[in-house]
Every structure is written in C-alpha cells, then in structure tokens.
Amino acid sequence: MAVKALLRALRIEYPRSHDVSDVLIDHGDALPENLRSEVEELARPVSQLASIRGPALVIRELKSVIDVEKFASIDYTNSFFYN
C-alpha cells in the first residue's frame, strides 16, 4: 500500500490490482532521486507480497485458513524493506 501511495502522490496511474511492481519499474525515473537506484529492489517484494495477498483474501472470504507455509517460503532478508 505504501508503494501505491507513492505512485498516487506522483500522479501515476496504476492498475487496480495488488501487484503494481511493473508500474513502479516503468516509472522509476519519476521517483525521488534517492529511490531511483533502488526501484528493482523495491519492486521485488511488492510482486512477491501481491502473489500471496490475492489468494489470502480469497481464502479469508471463504472462511478458510491462510496457507502460512506460503508466507514462510519467501526469503525477505534480501528485500529493500528488510535492510
């Protein structure tokens, strides 16, 4: 959601879907200077988390259990947000 807020603040349209990583990469030159060199690294966890969030919402709507193992299988230690 933070990335969507950033795109919105820059007046960049993005699809109404969870994964906005492609839009972030495509408009990397519009980002603040200190983020431009990190755009690929910033987009990676956005895409990874979006792939989990969609199914998680569907599962929750069905009042089922979220697959915790799917969350655990992603290595976040090299992500932009971890450091």
Q: What is the pLDDT of residue 8?
A: 85
30: DSSP letter: G
Q: Which span out of 14-18, 64-68, 70-74 was modeled with the highest average pLDDT?
A: 14-18
Contact 45, 80 (CB under 8 A): yes
What does the CA dihedral 75, 3, 17, 77 come to, rounded to 10 degrees?
A: 0
Q: pLDDT band for position 68 (50/70/90)?
A: low
Q: What pLDDT is stored for residue 50 in this prediction? A: 80
In whole angstroms, give the CA distance from residue 43 to residue 53.
15
Q: What's residue 60's pLDDT?
A: 54
> Tell me: the pLDDT tens digits for 10-57?
888 877 777 888 888 888 888 888 888 888 888 888 888 887 766 555
Q: How far is CA 35 from the centre of its chain?
A: 15
